[in-house]
Structure 1
Amino acid sequence: MNIKEAADLFGLTPDTLRYYEKAGIVPPVHRAQSGFRDYQTRDLNWIYLVRSLRRAGMDIDALKHFAELAKGRETNDIDTLKAVDTAQKGILQKQLIEIDEKISELQQTREILAYKISTYEDHIAKFKTGEWDAENQERLWER
């Protein structure tokens, strides 16, 4: 698969894919005899993972570190492989925790928005009738 097809597949630009490779965020992409990038399943998996982790909020430095750790797999040393596994898994676990926290925050925000929408007319009416004023009204944070 050429670079344009790979970029289109994941909603990225060819420039982004070149940057990811040049920055060491993805391993070097397989090249055809012509010298052009020829994306294989391994390359596409890396791009998909990186795109997913970026969407999850992982910064470029962490992605570079994750990819750098993968280079440690080029050994047969069991201790090195275990260390790589542990480090990479730790990075993924940390990102999962951050996503879970964001999801929780977004869910709370969604709930308050849904509540405000469902009670909007009632609340406006209470202000108009004088039942509520600047100080005498519902405390949203205590709901």
Structure 2
Amino acid sequence: MERRNKKSGNYKMVYGNEHNSLGIDMDSLAELSCESMSIMAAPNVVSSGNKRKQNSSTQPELATLSREERRRRRRATLKYRTAHATRERVRVEAFNVAFTELRKLLPTLPPDKKLSKIEILKLAICYIAYLNHVLEA
């Protein structure tokens, strides 16, 4: 599944699509100045709120339920929610470890300055653009 190109680097290899995770056109990245960059955040996702409760005495047999209703009931079980929460904790921990490792590679004064995740990403973009400029010079 390895699909790389000059534009998207490793992101395409990992996620298999044409866009990078920040929505940045990689060709024009070097043209951006760090001072003019605005916060690049994903749009808010709004829940559809389709959750509903049914009285257990009026529930039809499981075989007659729609696929969506069976999925909704399965996701409502304690076992499923617990397993999902565990997977999410592991995912978030891996995400945080990756940010910590990226942070260690970025030069700042003082070196131990606490940065938010968006600050780490923006600084990494600027630093990579700077290094690219140095290599081209």
TM-score normalized with structure 1 length? 0.27
**Structure with a larger share of its residues in helix:** 1
TM-score normalized with structure 2 length? 0.29
Larger Rg: 1
